[in-house]
Amino acid sequence: MKISTGIFSLVTSVAIGTAVLAFSLHGIAQDDTNSAHPALFTENGEMQRPGDLDEWIFLGSTLGQGYNPAMFDPDSPGMFQVVRMEPAAYLQFIDTGEFPDGAMFSLDFYGVEQGASVTKSGYTMGELMLTEIHLKDAERFPESGFNFYMFPPGAQTAEPLDLPNDCVTCHTTDAAHDGVFTQFYPAARQRLEQAAARD
């Protein structure tokens, strides 16, 4: 079967163009594994509260977690704490086993309720009390590599905590992996164990 010169040239051009596009996308993907910078800031350096926090990837949750010795009091169990991670950075973590520069984590603190609605035992989440954003950014924080921003309910911007601070010190000293408490997050913990087994 004969193929006309015009059709052959067209097919060749499309094939070359597709190869170039694939190579370009591969390069972009490689770049994306090194950094992720979805955080937005005002002109004076305040972080803008992310508008899609409810779409972030769930990592883990605790009730009444604290870092000082204390007996658990069922009448005053503390707050629910829910940790999520920005989706693009999470995908890079799953792919590489490392948290990219620019990764963000949210820690939401909720009040605790008992006997709400039809519940007869246990605890349910009350109102949101505080959102803490953990930002990994070596350029903004060259000494620590990361820092924290506190957003009370309704706040749309927040300044970083002054450095040094107890949060950064605790995460640097006690977190299992790269300043993140992966020891408390089952999926992240499993991913790191799998990566270690391959190595």
Domains and CATH numbers, the chain: 33-198 (3.50.70.20)
pLDDT tens-digit profile of 69-121? 888 888 889 999 999 999 999 999 999 999 999 999 999 999 999 988 998 89
- What is the C-alpha separation between 39 and 50, in angstroms, rounded? 7
Quickly state the pLDDT bin for 29 (edges 50, 70, 90).
Answer: very low
10: Cα within 13 Å, side-chain hemisphere: 5
pLDDT tens-digit profile of 118-171? 988 999 999 999 999 999 999 999 999 999 999 999 999 999 999 999 999 999
pLDDT score of 68: 80
- What is the C-alpha separation between 57 and 106, in angstroms, rounded? 10
| Full-model pTM | 0.80
Rounded to whole angstroms, the maximal C-alpha distance in the chain is 85
**Tokens matching residue 23:** 């190579």
Provide the phi-psi class of 139: left if phi over 0, else alpha when psi is between -120 and 50, else beta: alpha
Residues near 161 by beta carbon (within 8 Å), at least 6 away in sequence: 147, 148, 149, 150, 167, 168
